[in-house]
Structures are given as C-alpha cells and as structure tokens.
Amino acid sequence: MNRTVAPLLLTLVALAAVAPLRGQGQPAAEAPQPPVTFRAEVNYVEVDARVFDAQGQFVAGLSEGDFEVLEDGKPQKVTVFSLVNIPVERAERPLFAAAPIEPDVQSNTRGYDGRVYLIVLDDLHTHPLRTVRVRQAAREFIERFVGANDVAAVVHTSGRGDAGQEFTSNPRLLLAAVDKFSGRKLRSATLERLDMEYMTRNQRQQGERVDDPASFERGHQARSALQTVKNLADFMAGVRGRRKAMVLFSEGIDYDITDPFTNQDATMIMDATRDVIAAATRANVAIYGVDARGLASAGDESITVGAFPDDRSLGIDSSSLQNEVRLGQDSLRVLSDETGGFAVVNQNDLRSAFRRLVDDNSSYYVLGYYPANDRRDGRFRRIDVRVARPGMTVRARRGYVAPRGRAPADTRMTLPGGAPSELRDAMSSPIPVSSLPVSVNAVAFKGPRPNAVIALSILLDGRDLALVEKNGVLVNDIDVVATAVNYQGKMFPGDRSTVNLQLKPDTAARVRAAGFRVLTQIALPPGRYQLRVAASEANGKRAGSVLYDLDVPDFDRERFSMSGLAITSISSSVAPSARQNYPLNDLLPGPLSTLREFPVGDELAIFTEVYDNTAATPHKVDISAVLKADAGPTVFQTSEERDSSELQGRAGGYGFAARIPLGDVAPGLYLLRVEAASRVGNQPPVAREVLFRVVPRPAP
C-alpha cells in the first residue's frame, strides 16, 4: 500500500501560506488538440505565441517552419510545436432539467482539450466590505466563461484548504469554493496612521513622522500572498502543452515599497515579487490580475474619516488613500505584464475583460525547446518569437528567469514496488493525463463504522494497448493505483494493483473492442475528497489519470440518506475484468459500468441502498426509479413500498434493484432518477440522478 503521496494543490498552499499574526466561444478546432503531458524537467522551456494579421485577427495554419525562437539573441531548436484552438463547450442537459446533471463517470478518453485556470482569491488583500464584489466577479467568470471542457481550481491566499477546490470541471464545486471567500485585508495604513496621530498628537514634536502600527503584519501578509502565488506557479511547471492562466482576484499589494528606509519589509516584498515573476515565467503561467473594485477609489475607507490633520507634512490625507489604491493596482500590473497576462484594473466592464482573457487562452501556438544555455545562474533570459511572414505581429512572453542553484529533487509521487516513471508522472500531474484513456466510476455505500465503502470501476481503453505475442498468448503488464485526499490535506492511499495480462486471441479481441476493467474498493470516512486514479502499461510506456470529486455522506448520522447509484448492463459485461476486493459481487448481476452510452436492445441493471436511521418508529418508505427522455416523456418506471421492520437488527439499508430494458427505447438522451421518500416525520426525499445516452444498435 502506498503511504507516500505528492501534496495536492490545496495542501501545498495551506503549508506554504504563512498564518497571519493578527465565454466567449471559438471556432471548433479542425484537428485534435495536442496532448497535455506532465513531466518535471527543469531545463525545458515552453512558450505560447499568438499571431495576428494586420486587422488584428488570430492567424491559424502556420507551420513550425514559419517560426523562429531566439533566446538572448541566439536561435533555439524547437522540439515541440503545436497549434491549440479550443472551443468553449457547455455541459449537456435534458430539455426539462433546470441545470446540467453532474456526471457520475469521469474520463480522459477524449483527451484533454480545454483551458487550465487557477482562480486565486486573495483574501489577504481584499477589504471585508468588498467580499461580495469579489464573489460576484469570480462567480460570473465561472458561470459564463469557464467551459465544460476546461479545468479550474480555486485557492485562497490565506491557505484555507477547507475553502478551496482542487482542479475540476464541476462548476458547482468551484462556485461553492468562491462562496466561502471572505476578505481579511488589514485596515488601511492611512487610517491606522491617522488614529496613531490622534492618540499621540500631544506627545510628538511638530513634523515628527507617524508610522503605521500594523506595518509588520502588513508586510507579513504581503509576503505570504506572494509566496502562495509563487508556489502555485511552481506547482504547475510540469504541465506541458497548454497555456496556464492564473486569474488573481485581488486589490493588489499596497505596501509602500518606494521607501525601504521607513518600511522595513519593502526590500523583502520586492524580492518576493521578483521570485513570483521568475517562477511564473519558468512555468509558462500567465497571471491576470483582476481588481473587482472597478473604477477604484478609496471610498469605503474615506467614508470613515472625520477630518485629516492640519499638518500636511505627515502625509496623512486623502491623497495617501488614493496612493494605496495606486500601489495595489501597480502591483497587479507588474505581475500581469511580466508574465504574459494583463491586468484588469479601473474597469467596471469585467465581462469584456473576461472575454479577452478566454480568447487569450483559446487560440495560440505552443513552442517548446531545450535552451542551449543551461546554466543555473538565476539570470533573465530574453525570448523573441518571430514569424517569417510579412505583416504579422507576434505576442509572446518576454522571457524567463533561469533557475538558481542545484536542480530540485524529484517531487513526483512515491509509489511502492518500483512503480514505472510514467505512472508516477500521471499521479503527480495536477490535471488529467490522457496518453492512456481511462474511465472511472465511484459509488459510495455504507460500510463498517466510521467508514463508507467506495466501489471503484476503472476501465482502460483496449484499442491501443500494446499487446505483445509471447508463447502463443498476448501479454502486457497493467499498473493501476487509486488514492484519495480530503480537503484538510489528509491522504487515504489505496492499493496499487499490477495485472499481468496473458490473453488468448479471442479474449484479446474482446479487450480491443471493449477495454479492460479493474474492479476494486477504497474505505473512506465521511467527507469531501478528490480521488486520483491512474493506470499505465508496460509495453507502450503510456499512462493516463483521472481526477474524481467525491462527497461521502455520513450514512450513520444522517436520518435518511441514499448510497450512490450502481449501474451495469449487458454491453458493459463484455469487457474482461480483474476484481480486487470488489464489494458489489453479490449485488449487481454484472460489473460496475463506466459506460454512459448504451445501444438499443441493451438492458440496464441498477442497485442502490436507502439508509433509514428513524427505523425505531414504524413507518413505510417508497422507492421509485423513473427513466425520462430528453423531451420529457417517461419511458420506464417502477416502485416499491418498504417497511421499517426490515431494518431491525440490520446494519445496512433497504436494497433497491431494478432492470431497465432498452429494447423499445429510441436513441437519444435520457435521465434516470431513483428517489426514496419516508412517510415518518418531515423527512425530505433523497434521490440520485444519472444522465446517459442510448445509441443505435451497432451493425452486425
């Protein structure tokens, strides 16, 4: 069992943060998007370039030979070249549904073809009274501009892991993380000095300086926020093949760095800012600073001021409040401009800025190279990207800062038993890796206290598995690993399975057609988790990973609850399966399915459990299953009445199973809803919903 795992994003930020002392749509791509990979090589440089014609339109269709990349004036050999052209996709939902139905299967089978957003909420530099503005701005960005094919994460600079969200495509989870945001910016330095001036007015000499009593804490929070941003950039350095956008919602760092003699942290903050820019440029992370105040002023602060002192030499007046705003916005401009993004300041029209941001990260060329100058001297290396066609303009980052000192140690996840390098890469990547297609379904059931049992179905696409003939059979070694991390950063490692495939030709043909499945389980206490599942093959040296957000209810404490919904089908049973301590052997007639497309003529089998902790009072429970078509009509339904006496002396719940024939069901989109309602007390019903598609029967 693996017990050493790489820290996830929120764990990294929580450990790094120092505790305070006090859509716009794009045209569909004409070719598949280049793959996203994860590999931590410190001497690899990746730069993205946007090319525009004389009318300011993005130019597609250029080839590698059209580009020249120079570092400090010297041509570099481009080893990686691709065009990224990403549409903004929206989640599919039935016509009768008010919102998209969250998928219960996560997959990398279509390859990763979206944008990567790090949404950083700088609570350390947002006034509490402006909390709502930041929430509204961040929610608008997620709801309108983050596509279904994108991944995003939410991080708070104060290190609140319980309020953040790991990388996901689930907008509900992203919005929930945003709604937990609360500004905790220190009171204005001008107001602090004003109070100090009033308290010491009769004790000071005329013209004697009045210092900010919160200066130490103010500098501490500035360094903490910058360290968080730097760590996030470092964390994303291994992701290749995509531009990575950090959307930094902040009022900026308003610490006065122009007077290092009076402000003791000024030099350290300037150094920390340079470190952020160095880390972001090395990792090819573009920072977009967003000040949600709009046409900013110091109105929220100045409204509390009765009068400023008559002694103007103290520098305590309305202009000093405005200077704080300017300092904060200047810090956002510097971070954004130097990393290839842009700052959104003094703008009420955030929507237009967000459209421009999405456009920035939707169409571009990726050029990667290993620099001829590989010295680790910490110096700035200027990058020039040129296009050998007249009338075209190239926009790319200006350069990067070379690393300093010794190369860092290998920080990839440690797996037991000499796990292959590609599996470690896949498990360590902050976003899904799709070199080996993998699909995952996770279903939570009540288990021995205090844990739930999570049944896992992991399906590997078999079409491209590198099966090698040996002694009359086709062989390959498959490694599969799954682990879970809760949002307090605690790791729950699962077993690593190695399956030695030795397939006869007819079984190999089934694997080619339907894939190969690993069925296993992991025990987890109630909480919010992200499952990280990865698989690799020995022959092809390929690996793939999937990130799966999972809420595990407290089945022992909730008065009325339901397990996940387990589904299998006749077509799902075709794929050969390896079972590793699989908990649903006697509850489903076939293996837990990761398919959500079923052919006409197939038959589904479903199973769920309803947990009723009010069984001491005799009552009835109604359980039903309904299948609705996209347009709304019901095409299947069944129901049962259960009695609380069934649970006397039992640790489980009401087991509910049904079979749903698809012989007379027309191709299209369908919603399966299983609901349970108790007739005692005022218990709201509980339900599970699964969206799937029925497709025409394959030709014989």
Candidates 496, 548, 557; CA nearest to 525 is 557
Cα separation, 537 vs 203, whole angstroms: 77
* pLDDT value of residue 211: 83
What is the band of 16 on the pLDDT scale with cuts at 50, 70, 90? Answer: very low
Query: Could you tell me where in the chain the CATH 2.60.40.2550 domains are found?
Result: 596-700
Q: Under DSSP, is residue 65 helix (H, G, I), strand (E, B) or coil?
A: helix
Cα separation, 619 vs 493, whole angstroms: 40
Q: Under DSSP, is residue 157 helix (H, G, I), strand (E, B) or coil?
A: coil
Candidates 25, 47, 50; CA nearest to 150 is 25
pTM for the full model? 0.87
| Fold designation for 596-700 | Immunoglobulin-like (2.60.40)
**For the segment 404-437, what is each residue's pLDDT rounded down to a tens digit?**
877 666 555 666 566 788 898 888 888 888 899 9
What is the band of 310 on the pLDDT scale with cuts at 50, 70, 90? Answer: low
Q: What is the mean pLDDT of the chain?
A: 87
Q: How many CA atoms lie within 13 A of 281 on its CB side?
A: 27
* pLDDT value of residue 229: 96
Helix axes 9-16, 215-235, angle to 10 degrees: 150
- Dmax (CA) for the chain in angstroms is 98
> Where does 113-361 sit in CATH, by number?
3.40.50.410
Has residue 604 got a pLDDT over 70? yes
Starting at the edge strand found earlier in the chain, the sheet holding 74-75 runs 74-75, 67-71, 380-387, 399-401
Q: How many CA atoms lie within 13 A of 586 on its CB side?
A: 1
For domain 1-22+420-557, give its CATH number from 1.25.10.10, 2.160.20.10, 2.60.40.3880, 3.50.50.60: 2.60.40.3880
DSSP state of 7: -
Has residue 253 got a pLDDT over 90? yes
Has residue 23 got a pLDDT over 60? no
DSSP state of 68: E
What is the band of 4 on the pLDDT scale with cuts at 50, 70, 90? Answer: very low
**For the segment 37-90, what is each residue's pLDDT rounded down to a tens digit?**
666 556 889 999 999 999 989 999 999 999 999 999 999 999 999 999 888 888
205 beta partners: none
The pLDDT > 70 percentage for the chain reads 89
- List, in sequence order, every beta strand (DSSP E) within 504-602: 516-524, 527-537, 542-552, 560-562, 566-569, 577-579, 597-599
Query: Could you tell me where in the chain the CATH 3.40.50.410 domains are found?
Result: 113-361
Candidates 207, 409, 236; CA nearest to 312 is 207
Candidates 325, 340, 173; CA nearest to 243 is 340
DSSP state of 163: G
CA 379 to chain centre: 32
Q: Where is average pLDDT lowest: 14-18, 425-429, 558-562, 578-582?
A: 14-18
Query: Could you tell me where in the chain the CATH 2.60.40.3880 domains are found?
Result: 1-22+420-557
Q: Which residue has the higher pLDDT, 487 or 337?
A: 337
Q: What are phi and psi of 190, to 5 degrees?
A: -65, -45
DSSP state of 204: S
Please, what is the end-to-end C-alpha distance for the chain in angstroms? Answer: 45
What is the band of 198 on the pLDDT scale with cuts at 50, 70, 90? Answer: confident
Residue type, 297: S
Has residue 634 got a pLDDT over 90? yes
Has residue 306 got a pLDDT over 70? no
Has residue 120 got a pLDDT over 80? yes
Cα separation, 45 vs 371, whole angstroms: 7
Cβ(561)–Cβ(536) below 8 Å: no
* pLDDT value of residue 207: 65
Has residue 294 got a pLDDT over 80? yes
**For the segment 510-564, what is each residue's pLDDT rounded down to a tens digit?**
999 999 999 999 999 999 999 999 999 999 999 999 999 999 999 999 999 999 9
Enumerate residues 6+ apart whose C-beta is below 8 A from 394: 49, 50, 51, 52, 385, 386, 387
The pLDDT > 90 percentage for the chain reads 61
**Is residue 326 within a helix (H) or strand (E), and if so which, with residue range?**
helix 318-339
Q: How many CA atoms lie within 13 A of 569 on its CB side?
A: 21
Q: Which residue has the higher pLDDT, 210 or 602?
A: 602
* pLDDT value of residue 39: 62
Q: How many CA atoms lie within 13 A of 452 on its CB side?
A: 28
Q: Under DSSP, is residue 532 helix (H, G, I), strand (E, B) or coil?
A: strand
Ramachandran quadrant class, 581 (left: phi over 0; alpha: psi -120 to 50; beta: rest): left
